[in-house]
Amino acid sequence: MVQKLILFDVDKTLVKEMERSSNPWSQAYKSVYGIDCKTTLSQANSHGMTHKQIALETLKSNGLKEDEILEKMDLFIKTLEKIYKKSLENGKITLFPKIPELLQKLSKKKYLLGLITGNTKEIAFTKLKMAGIDKFFSIGGFGDDSANREELIKLALERAKGKCHFQFDEKKVFVIGDTPKDIIPAKKFHLQTIGVATGIYSKSQLKESGADFVIDNLEDIEEVLSIIG
């Protein structure tokens, strides 16, 4: 029986930096909606958002109506994934220090590891495969599932129960992320949350968002293990 479920955000939590050969977003907007996006979301606004939400908000700010955006959203996501993977072929994914070692130790404890990420499933696993850590993750909630991060958490919990027979216990589920958008939805499910100050948000901002634990990063493996137990 799996004792605990640990759900990780991807960008700026596991993945530190990403190098791509091109901007897949602008290409996908042009290909599917036929527009050159002159207005894009700032990093502060988009950080922690799902890919569907980023597309929706960006296209609305460029004059498109929500119904015409949603009509082509599935095609947009498929197009984005194809272009995104192509842009990473000669790119590079850099993890934060000690991430593989941490995942290895958690796996040895027989904990179930999953993802809660704004990335689509295809894009998330492309990044993690490039970084050599995709094997650690079996379930999750992804940016192509919904624009709403609460829904991603709900889906991840359902998948943990259905695919891995995880017996749900709020105190045995940890969500780890670098933004308030990771923390706040998790708290609505009464899950344990760990905020890591490896993105654009400070420790105090993460604490204010309701994180149960706030740490500088995931490098101190013993500290992380002491929190999770």
Q: How far, in Å, are 142, 187, 202, 224 from residue 152 at the CA level?
A: 6, 13, 24, 24
Domains of the chain, earliest start first: 5-17+94-228 (3.40.50.1000), 22-87 (1.10.150)
> What's the pLDDT at 40?
66
> What's the pLDDT at 43?
54
Tens of pLDDT along the chain (229 residues) come to 558 999 999 999 999 999 998 889 999 999 999 999 866 655 546 777 899 999 999 999 999 999 999 999 999 999 999 999 999 998 999 999 999 999 999 999 999 999 999 999 999 999 999 999 999 998 999 999 998 999 999 999 999 988 877 787 888 999 999 999 999 999 999 999 999 999 999 999 999 999 999 999 999 999 999 999 8
> What's the pLDDT at 164?
77
> What's the pLDDT at 42?
53
> What's the pLDDT at 171?
87
In total, the chain counts a number of residues equal to 229
Query: What is the token pair recorded at 185?
Result: 């939805």
Ramachandran angles phi, psi of 119, nearest 5°? -65, 150
- Which DSSP helix (H) or strand (E) runs through 16? strand 15-19
* Cβ atoms 183, 211 nearer than 8 A: yes
Rounded Cα distance between 35 and 195, Å, is: 37
